[in-house]
Amino acid sequence: GVYEEEITVPSTSKHYDPESKFSTQPHQLTKLINHFHENVKYLPNIALPANLIATPSLKESVEGASILIFNLPHQFIGGLCDQMKGHILPYARGISCIKGVDVSSKDVSLFSESIGEKLGIYCGALSGANIANEVAQEKFSETTIAYDPPPMDSRNPTPKGSTPKGQSPYASQLDLTQITEHKDSKGLTSKVRLTAQPSELPPLDHNTIKLLFHRPYFHVSVVSDVAGVSLGGALKNVVALAAGFVAGLGWGDNAKAAVMRVGLLEMVKFGKIFFNNSAHTATFTEESAGVADLITSCSGGRNYRCAKKSIERKVSIQEVEKEELNGQMLQGTSTAEDVNAFLKARGKEAEFPLLTAVHRILKGEIRPEDLPENMERS
């Protein structure tokens, strides 16, 4: 993992001391984090709380934890989960902070459900207008956490006493903790068989989740729509590319607003068609994970910036990506391709004209200047 790398304190750091061994000899990054209470390489000048302890041992970090938070590039999910198997509590629950969805021509799946299936646990999702360095600096922002508590975690099973009017006497005897099945985001019975959380633990419901994450500078809204929150985090990157294209052409704020409006409609439509059992319009139009994240991404996010610069410099977006992102990859370009393959396989490209137009621009099939006529509903 990245925290196993060895570095010296950079000369630009306030902790740099030419007399100190930390500045002259390589040390594990985890040791530097625990010594200075700062990630001197990846999050410089941000004080980390003393109760946050870095460890290069994945086994050690998950041992005994009833709640697991996943925040890493999506391509590492599989390997990470394989290493965690057999080391986590069987009744652990997760929250995935990995934005986006796993799309292929065959299917759309949620990263939270991929984690759940690999580890045999239930996992929700966190997404929103959360630019990392602004959150780290404790500047005000909001987020959305989607968590639909599985039935076996309920602390309110049907009472065994009197039978409520209209219910069978058998229903009144139901012990929800004995249920192992739960529904996935498509309304199907999940392949995962869950273990109920022990009754001595506080219930992991919406109130508890809000208590864990909410801060005066970081406001949390908790919903049950895991699919909507996850889709918002993926599709907004494609819309941001379109916003960057029109900004690079110098078309102004009206054009960008038009792109965002159409983009939001297509995000809602995608959720309603392909996750009709769980995705709610309000998740996209009212939550930070929907409209707010879309606004942020279309104003200054990396997909927007790289698309804008590719037009201004008259070069491919891949070239800008190499020059600007220091080895990191744009999510919007790969998502645009994957989403198009998914829509094409179902004959649905015409129903999503903006998402389709962005893909065609990236492939060189149409010019960015052709976007208005191509994103118009037929």
pLDDT of residue 106: 84
Specify whether the CB–CB gap between 150 and 194 falls below 8 A. yes
pLDDT of residue 76: 86
Structure confidence at residue 176 as a pLDDT band (50, 70, 90): low
Instruction: Identify the CA nearest to 306 among candidates 330, 328, 326.
Output: 330
Residue 315 clears pLDDT 50, i.e. is over it:
yes
Q: Which of 6-15, 68-77, 182-191 has the lowest mean pLDDT?
A: 182-191
Structure confidence at residue 172 as a pLDDT band (50, 70, 90): very low
Burial class (CB in 10 A: 0-12, 13-18, 19+), 286: middle
Give the chain's radius of gyration (CA, Å). 23
Instruction: Identify the CA nearest to 81 among candidates 50, 40, 112.
Output: 112
Three-point CA angle 94, 96, 99, nearest 5°:
170
Specify whether the CB–CB gap between 247 and 203 falls below 8 A. no
For this structure, is 236 an active site residue? yes
- Type of residue found at 27: H
pLDDT of residue 178: 60
pLDDT of residue 190: 80
Structure confidence at residue 171 as a pLDDT band (50, 70, 90): very low
Specify whether the CB–CB gap between 243 and 257 falls below 8 A. no
Mean pLDDT of all residues in the chain? 90
Instruction: Identify the CA nearest to 232 among candidates 186, 182, 296.
Output: 296
Judged by phi (left if over 0) then psi (alpha if -120 to 50, else beta), residue 20 lies in: beta
pLDDT of residue 129: 95
Instruction: Dump pLDDT digits (tens) for 143-167.
Output: 999 999 988 887 665 555 545 555 5
The bridge status of strand 27-28 relative to strand 6-7 is: antiparallel
Instruction: Dump pLDDT digits (tens) for 178-218.
Output: 666 677 777 777 888 899 999 899 999 999 999 999 999 99
Task: Report d(CA 305, CA 140) in Å as an integer.
Answer: 23
The percentage of residues in the chain with a pLDDT greater than 70, rounded to a whole number, is 91
Q: Convert 44-58 to b/e letters by CB count within 10 Å (16 or more is b).
A: eebebeeeeebeeee
pTM of the model: 0.86
pLDDT of residue 112: 93
pLDDT of residue 378: 65
SS3 341: helix
Burial class (CB in 10 A: 0-12, 13-18, 19+), 145: buried
pLDDT of residue 164: 52
Q: Which of 6-10, 247-251, 290-294 has the lowest mean pLDDT?
A: 6-10
Three-point CA angle 316, 304, 278, nearest 5°:
120
Enter the tokens of residue 282.
Answer: 């309000």
Task: Report d(CA 64, CA 134) in Å as an integer.
Answer: 31
Task: Report d(CA 293, CA 186) in Å as an integer.
Answer: 24
What value does the mean pLDDT take over residues 123-152? 94
pLDDT of residue 75: 79
Set 59, 139, 165, 236: catalytic member: 236
Structure confidence at residue 32 as a pLDDT band (50, 70, 90): very high
Which residue did the predictor score with more confidence, 296 or 176? 296
List Cα–Cα distances, 122 to 66, 92, 190, 278, 352, in angstroms: 11, 8, 10, 16, 32
Task: Report d(CA 278, CA 282) in Å as an integer.
Answer: 12
Q: Which of 195-204, 260-269, 320-329 has the lowest mean pLDDT?
A: 320-329
Residue 170 clears pLDDT 80, i.e. is over it:
no
Structure confidence at residue 169 as a pLDDT band (50, 70, 90): very low
Task: Report d(CA 226, CA 361) in Å as an integer.
Answer: 31
